[in-house]
Structure formats: C-alpha cells, structure tokens
Amino acid sequence: MPDAPRLFVHVGLQKTGTSYLQAALLRSRADLASQGLDLVPPTKRQSFELMVVIRDKYEARRDPVSDRRILERFTAQLERAPGSRAVFSQESLAAAGPGQITRLLRASGGREVHVVATVRDLARQLPSSWQEQVKAGGTTAFRPYLRRLQSLERSRSGRHPWIHLDPPAVLSRWAERVGPDRVHVVTVPPWDGPRTLLLERFGAVLGVDPARLEPEEHWSNASLGFAQAELLRRINLELPEEVHRRYVYSDVVKQSFGAQVLGTQERRRIRVPEEFRAWCEEVTERQVAELESAGYQVVGSLKDLKCPESAFGAGDGEPTEHEVATASVSALATMLGARGRAVASRRTGRIGVASRWRRMIRRLVSRKRPDVRATASARGRRHGP
C-alpha cells in the first residue's frame, strides 16, 4: 500500500525567519511543484484566512458559512494537489490549542501531517517579541514587557505572548496529536552564520533542493532600531482608537510609517538588559533539555539555542531623549520629502493647459481644419491643365 501524501504544517515560531521562508516558498511555487511539493493554500492571503478560522480569531467579523467554505476550500486544494507533499506555513499556528489543532487535522483529509517548527535562541527572541507587539500597536516599554514575560514563564500559563517563546510547550500540543516522530525542529543559525543556512535546513525537511529556491534579497519584516521602536511605542500612546483598528493600523502605521519610514533609518540594536541574563540562560537550559528528551527530529543543532554573549548589553540603556528626537526629526524629514517630491512631480511651475484638455483641443481643431492636400487636388481638377 503506497504511503499517504504528506502535509507539512510550519507553525512558526514568530520571529524565527518565517517571513523569509514564506517569501521563498511563494517566489518558488512553480519550481517546488516540479519537485513534488505543493504550496497549500497557494497565497499568503488564503493562508492567513485559514489560520483565522483554525484559531477562532476576530470572531465578530466572521460568519459560520464563510468559515466552513474556507475549511472546505483547503480540503479541496489538498485533494487536487498533484504532488506527494504539500506545505502550509503560518506562524500564528504556534499558539493553537488542542481543539484548534484537531480542526486543522480534520480539514487535512487523509494527509499524513508533519509539524515543522523553526526555533531561535531566547536572547534574540526577546527584543523581537517586544518589537512585534509595538508594531501591532502595543504601548508597553521594553523592561516592563520583559518582566511580564518572566511572570508568564514562571507561572507556566502558556498564555500569549510567552507561548510564542516556549517551543517545548508549543510542540507538546502538536505531538500529542501527530506523534513526536512527525515533529521537526529546525534551529535558526547564529546571527553570523551563512545567510541561506536556515533555508537549506528548512528545505531538507520538506525534501526539496534549497539551491532551487528563490529567497528575498532583503529579509521582509526587518527589525527596527531601539530608538525607532521606542518612538513608535510613544506614537501608539497618542493615536486615536479608530487608527488602532487592525486593518487601519497595519496599512497606515505598521507598513507606511514603521517599515517605509522608521525601517530605513540607521539603527542601534536592541539588547537584553544584563539583569535578565541569568533568567534567559536558565530558561534556555530547561527548554533545550525538554526538546532533547521529546524524541523530535532536529535539523541543525540545539546548541544554536544557546544565548549569545552579544545579545546582552551591560552598557546599553534605554534610548535617550536625544536619540528619540533624532529619529523623530528624521522621520518627519522623510515623510515631508516624499510628499514634496510627489507634489513637485505634478507641478512643473509652468502655467499651461492640462494634457487631457490639450488632447481635446487638438481633436476639435483637427476636425475643423480643412485637409490641405485634398483642397489643393480639388483646385487642380477645377482649373485643369
């Protein structure tokens, strides 16, 4: 009896290169299909919609009929997929509870489901986690945010946002349903490792040639500097409630301002204060031990999860008021410059008729103007030789 076709569910975790990997999958979809791997759902939007239904998010803006259609669409896409393997990547699946995992497995039909988790050292994750909550409209400063994470970790509550920083807790939920032998842990290489190494490790799990994947030239969802993130946090405090609506904030603030304005500035890296080092190292030791004993398939090395010395900052303090002010002035200059260039491109300084009206006038004139050649010919015929 032939083996059942596989479905690889990449559950994140958040800030472990997921955007980079997803972009490579999307850009290489045709080549992946030629290697027997189908991207299901085939677009980022459909993947997000499926995650929303699986995770029961944004309930007030959903209806049961649409939810059922999205699940049925996913099942149908898997049934039509010609390859022996398929992959579904969405980092918010990491926080799925047992019932939500069951919902996804039922929608997967007869596929043999394998779970893939990309994991990264905690010391680099902490600043990224804080920054993500700021880029989602959060207003908590860095140190209070770290203290909140400490409290959640010590309570073993498995609540957001700590769940996205606890790979053993995430994977134990999935392993209960699919079995530990179908759980794959892909470690994120150290910051100074080869740029494509993560993609190579991820491709090895999916059974594709990573050399044929097309990664982004620049990583999407790039990090902000400390001063830029702090500036955005303060701006979030002043924004009206209607701008904090997810679809408004994502477009106007996160993308247009955060990525395109603040993201272009020179940045000072966010480091974990020295006072949190012992806790980071203690948690890391426990998590590595739990991953080692769980029986998961590890691609890379769990040694990659050791907190690097460079992630801590003994002398690095909070951004100074001067740094925040400099980031503010630079942001204003960038925004005004973009606005000024747009206006300048529409206004040449000359007084004239708009091109649309010029074309209309030319057409009118051409209709009234006699055909010179036809008139001359007519005159020749009248007078003769």
Cα distance between residue 56 and residue 100, in whole Å = 8
Cα distance between residue 7 and residue 207, in whole Å = 12
The CA-atom distances, in angstroms, between 19 and each of 12, 14, 141, 211, 220 are 9, 9, 25, 18, 6
CB-count burial class (<10 Å; 0-12, 13-18, 19+) for 25: buried
What's at 289, amino acid-wise? A
Q: Which residues pair with 119 in a beta bridge?
A: 187
What is the predicted pLDDT for the residue at 324? Answer: 97
- Alpha carbon 352 to its chain centroid, in Å, reads 46
Show me where the domains of the chain are located.
6-220+275-313, 224-269+320-373
The CA-atom distances, in angstroms, between 27 and each of 84, 92, 216, 236, 383 are 20, 21, 9, 34, 74
What is the predicted pLDDT for the residue at 138? Answer: 97
Q: What is the pLDDT of residues 362-377, one digit of tens each?
A: 666 666 555 544 454 5
Give every CB contact of residue 215 below 8 A, 6+ residues apart in sequence: 20, 23, 24, 27, 196, 199
- Alpha carbon 239 to its chain centroid, in Å, reads 23
Whether 112 and 4 have beta carbons less than 8 Å apart is answered as yes
Cα distance between residue 33 and residue 37, in whole Å = 5
Write b or e for each residue in 131-160: b if 16 or more Cβ atoms lie within 10 A of its Cβ, otherwise e.
bbbbbebbeeebeebbeebeebbeeeebee
Q: Which residues pair with 272 in a beta bridge?
A: 312
Note the CATH architecture for domain 6-220+275-313: 3-Layer(aba) Sandwich (3.40)
What is the predicted pLDDT for the residue at 281? Answer: 98
**Three-state SS sequence of 103-147:** HHHHHCCCCEEEEEEEECCHHHHHHHHHHHHHHCCCCCCHHHHHH
What is the predicted pLDDT for the residue at 380? Answer: 52
What is the predicted pLDDT for the residue at 372? Answer: 45
What is the predicted pLDDT for the residue at 60? Answer: 60
Cα distance between residue 32 and residue 38, in whole Å = 7
Each residue's pLDDT tens digit in the chain (385 positions)?
468 999 999 999 999 999 999 999 999 999 999 999 999 999 999 999 999 999 998 766 678 899 999 999 999 999 999 999 999 999 999 999 999 999 999 999 999 999 999 999 999 999 999 999 999 999 999 999 999 999 999 998 788 899 999 999 999 999 999 999 999 999 999 988 898 999 999 999 999 999 999 887 766 667 899 999 999 999 999 999 999 998 899 999 999 999 999 999 999 999 999 999 999 999 999 999 999 999 999 999 999 999 999 999 876 788 999 999 999 999 999 999 999 998 888 776 555 545 555 666 566 666 655 554 445 454 454 445 4
